[in-house]
Structure 1
Amino acid sequence: MEITIVTIIIAYICGSISSAILICRFKKLPDPRTIGSKNPGTTNISRINKKIAIIVLLLDILKGAIPMWLAQILNIPTFWLGTIPIVTCMGHIYPIFFKFCGGKGMATAFGALTTISLNLSGLMFCIWSITVLLSGFASLGSIITLTIIPFYTWLFYPQYALQITILAIIILIQHQSNAQRLINGRENNIWKS
């Protein structure tokens, strides 16, 4: 149990490392929490610098995967293994190092779920990509993906279904403002920006 607790703490700390904020500081760029959507995530970073946004995306995916790899190596029980993505994403959303002001957690969740199953992460990528290509809204891609993934998990990975459903709900809550802007027609279209 001690190893499980340590792994959960590591997952939160890993999630709390905001690549968006750190890279912007290193490159002497504006703090992403002060511009655009004020969100230190890939979409907002792309408004500052698209190349840096790709780096942020990859690092956020990696920080979701690393705690899961560690947990799998340490062979922690299945239930607790399923909670690692939740804890890592909570670190990303509420980072202890950055006054609990973080991103929305989509890329970090994707990274974590990649280690559970490439089929699961592949489905996430396909749903998100198709939605974004057809609509031009990254947030709509996230919302639709997060709505579908729990059903897929209940069918094919029931041992993780509860945790992934909770994770999807947490990240959907982070997209409330996006959903409101989509309804009101005020959400930024990535093809037009």
Structure 2
Amino acid sequence: MERMSEEQEKPKTSRFQWFIYAFLIPILFGITVALLVFTITGNNIFETAKEFSRKVPFIASVFDDTNSRSQEVMEEQLIGLQAEVKDREARISQLESELDSKELEIERAGLEKQRLEEEISELTAIKEENKRAFKDIVKTYENISAKKAAPILTEMKDEEAVKILSNVNSDTLAAIMEKMNPEDAARYTALLTAAKEKGGVSDN
């Protein structure tokens, strides 16, 4: 039995060896020689295979499908990149618009601040001028006679008269009060007392 199995295995082994020596090794040798020849002659074996495959309908269709798919992928990527670029350009435009708006707002605020400062300066100057003019008025009432000053003051509004009377010196005030009739003198005395208690009459 053992001899029969050995005899049956020998033909199988010899057939496999025959396949290797007669078919596989020559093919591998031929491929090696072909690659060597193509390399020496400067031909690109892959480009040649590609040209050959184009002549064979089935292989050419496989290459065409691969190329078309890769081209579709590249076009999709290109469209995606273009959309991203447009989005970023739109965002940049929006930020530039916001920046211009902020700069305009800052410029307007600066102009408004400058206008207010100028207005404050003008009002301050007017106030100082009015203060000097009021001091001149007070000095005038201190220099004229009490007999002339008393009737002028009684013709004024009480607020204006009290303001002047509260700023003249005490001697002038006493002299003017003496030249007023008792009713006016009593009224101005009460008004002056109330104004001093509030502390809001003096222009100094």
Q: What TM-score, normalized to structure 2?
A: 0.21
Pick the structure with greater CA Rg: 2
Q: What TM-score, normalized to structure 1?
A: 0.22
